[in-house]
Chains A and B, each alone.
Chain A
């Protein structure tokens, strides 16, 4: 049975697209057939993070409006065989996405043997965000350890428990997970940043991953290579762990402590 996972947050710029790309790659590398869909109509960006921006011919809205088949619009990843990207449309008409249209695309993906559908939600709580979460079985709520992001995440949790198909039909509950990004163990240690425990306590949700703050994220997006594929990076390891937990593994959280530095490095920077 296919699983629909929405990556959402409310607030912009916290790492939804980075997370969608890396989680999709991680699942596909484990042999799962994965489609990752950009729901940010008018502000397409997943294609850039995935590195396939020059191969976009048709998009999500084209499929819904019948301008092309789903097969024509799915962009096959060049690195991983079982990974496909569906780009957002650059149209300014946000009404172009419809509930029935989205359902039709999902049904066709499922009939085609896709095991995971990752929905990269736009920021905000408007139509695109609503549609991205509506059919979800699970939600990854991306949050930075920072006040506005945490508050917006709580707002999104409220919507997940009321404005989704599962909630409306009383058909169980969307399974919710927290994923902390831009986590700085050093700043947590000095009391400048809220800890995983703090955020978890406020939002009352299990944590599926903690991604450390790292320059590797920018390098990866510059290059169009999802950061999970940079295996040297702690960010990659943290995303790999998150994907394993998504699949049911129990792993301890890593990268919560500041790497030990020598006295000189501490005094003179490094």
Chain B
């Protein structure tokens, strides 16, 4: 580390990296092992919802759960706070 670099320290961004990864990895793990159409289904559903309500892309959560013998595909859409629908 030279004299200049000593005064011009790089930003501590590791926390940001860790937080972003924690979220995306968790999200990708929920669709792992599921059918390949899930990401497309999620995107197309989001498009339909956005025709009526202006929701965030993050506002649609999708979960595929396997319970003995049957699978449950669960969608959760968080509506914006001042939604006039």
Contact = CB atoms under 8 A, between A and B. Distances in A.
Contacts of B10: 187, 190, 192
Given A147-B17, A158-B32, A158-B33, A190 B12 contact: yes
Interface of A: 146-147, 150-151, 154-155, 158, 161-162, 187-188, 190-195, 198, 201-203, 266-269
Contacts of B20: 147
Interface of B, secondary structure class, is: helix
Nearest to A261: B1
B2 A202 contact: no
A191 B18 CA distance: 11
B67 interface: no
Contacts of A266: 1, 6
B15 interface: yes
A154 B11 contact: no
B33 A162 contact: yes
B53 interface: no
13 contacts: A150-B25, A151-B21, A154-B28, A155-B28, A191-B12, A192-B11, A192-B13, A193-B14, A194-B14, A198-B18, A203-B25, A267-B3, A269-B1
Q: Which of A162, A191, A195 has the most CB of B within 10 A?
A: A191
A192 B6 contact: no
